[in-house]
């Protein structure tokens, strides 16, 4: 999901997934359990997805810093929870790092009045200042049946064509979507990654898939099925999958190849290590 023409202009989806692999595997089931798309009007601008669709709630781990001190006082071992905590802290930071630029560029359209096009599309054109300078964004949204087809491009500069940063569809007033990102550092601008979000049963998911050479199919998936939550990492090869899951009441578990001998490690509602059921 690299977005720039230089190394300082963005962080790729491949970096996020590669880091996820290190977090979930090299740091050496918990769900207790459709939104139907709405019709899209061609006579008014399509609804853009809200930024909270592309975030995940890690607040469960917010008070984990004190556990090391509690453990030293003899309150009992919290090793399993703390191990999961450190992994989610970095995953949270990486998710924000990867998603912040495209979400900000997309969301900035709210300050611009779109222009209707003859083919039924709507186009927003606006300046945007990101972490790598000032650019012009061209956002195109075209209602098609019950979905909206989106394309966000960097306006032509010295080149004679626009660079399509990402494209895809949304439905259900933006509550469901799928975006494909292009590597603008490559002359051919191949697909470098995908993001999808929506509903699974009663929960909400956010998923990242790498399409980078050597990382093809590596998938990181967040599931908010409150009161249960889960993170899954599935490599694109035959490497074992990993997960972290937790429940609002406090208990949870993780399973990664190089922690606890690759076996599931659990904690109870007091965040203390416990035998998995």
Tokens of 269: 């509602």
Inter-residue contact 9 to 132 (CB < 8 Å): yes
User: Tokens 């008070």 correspond to what residue?
Assistant: 63
Distant-in-sequence, close-in-space partners of 74: CB < 8 Å, separation ≥ 6: none
Q: Which helix (H) or strand (E) holds 255?
A: strand 252-255
Q: Which residues contact 151 (CB under 8 A, 6 or more apart)?
A: 139, 140, 164, 166, 167
Q: How far apart are CA 262 and CA 275, in angstroms?
A: 15
Other CB atoms within a 10 A radius of the CB of residue 148 amount to 25
Question: Per-block average pLDDT, block size 10, for the chain (277 residues)?
Answer: 38 51 53 46 81 80 67 70 89 79 87 94 90 81 95 68 84 92 78 90 89 86 93 89 94 94 95 94
Confidence (pLDDT) at 142? 96
Q: How far is CA 216 from CA 118, 194, 209, in A?
A: 38, 11, 8
Q: Is 90 helix (H, G, I), strand (E, B) or coil?
A: helix
Q: Can you tell me the distance from the alpha carbon of 196 to that of 221, in angstroms, rounded to the nearest whole number? A: 9
DSSP state, residue 52: G
pLDDT at position 35, please? Answer: 38
Helix ranges (DSSP H) in 108-232: none
Cα(25)–Cα(270) distance, integer angstroms: 25
pLDDT in the model for residue 191: 83
Question: What pLDDT sits at residue 36?
Answer: 37
> How much is the pLDDT for 157?
53
CA distances from 92 to 27, 106, 183, 197, 205 (A): 16, 21, 23, 16, 15
Return all residues near 165 (Cβ < 8 A) that are at least 6 apart: 3, 102, 105, 152, 153, 154, 181, 182, 184
In this structure, what token pair is assigned to residue 260?
């606890």
**CB neighbour list of residue 222: distance below 8 Å, 6 or more residues apart:** 56, 95, 205, 206, 207, 229, 230, 231
Secondary-structure breakdown of the chain: helix, strand, coil percentages, each rounded to the nearest 5: 25, 35, 45
- Res 204: pLDDT: 93
Tokens of 22: 């290190």
- 44 contact partners, CB below 8 Å, separation of at least 6: none
For residue 4, what pLDDT is reported? 39
């Amino acid at each position: 999901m690299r977005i720039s023409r230089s190394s300082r202009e963005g962080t790729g989806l491949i970096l996020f997934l590669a880091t996820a692999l290190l977090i979930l595997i090299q740091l050496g089931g918990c769900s207790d359990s459709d939104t139907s798309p709405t019709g899209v009007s061609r006579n008014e601008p399509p609804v853009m997805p809200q930024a909270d669709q592309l975030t995940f709630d890690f607040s469960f781990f917010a008070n984990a810093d004190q556990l090391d001190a509690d453990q030293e006082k003899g309150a009992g071992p919290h090793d399993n929870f703390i191990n999961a905590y450190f992994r989610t802290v970095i995953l949270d930071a990486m998710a924000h790092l990867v998603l912040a630029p495209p979400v900000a560029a997309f969301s900035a359209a709210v300050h611009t009045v779109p222009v209707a096009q003859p083919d039924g599309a709507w186009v927003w054109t606006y300046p945007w200042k990101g972490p790598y300078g000032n650019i012009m964004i061209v956002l195109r949204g075209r209602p098609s049946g019950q979905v909206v087809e989106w394309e966000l491009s960097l306006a032509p500069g010295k080149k004679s064509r626009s660079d399509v940063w990402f494209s895809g569809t949304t439905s259900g007033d933006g509550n469901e979507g799928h975006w494909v990102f292009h590597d603008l550092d490559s002359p051919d601008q191949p697909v470098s990654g995908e993001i999808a979000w929506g509903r699974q049963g009663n929960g909400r998911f956010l998923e990242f898939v790498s399409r980078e050479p050597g990382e093809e199919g590596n998938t990181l998936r967040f599931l908010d099925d409150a009161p249960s939550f889960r993170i899954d990492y599935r490599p694109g090869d035959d490497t074992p999958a990993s997960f972290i899951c937790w429940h609002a009441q406090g208990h949870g578990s993780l399973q990664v190849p190089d922690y606890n001998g690759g076996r599931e490690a659990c904690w109870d509602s007091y965040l203390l290590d416990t035998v998995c059921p």
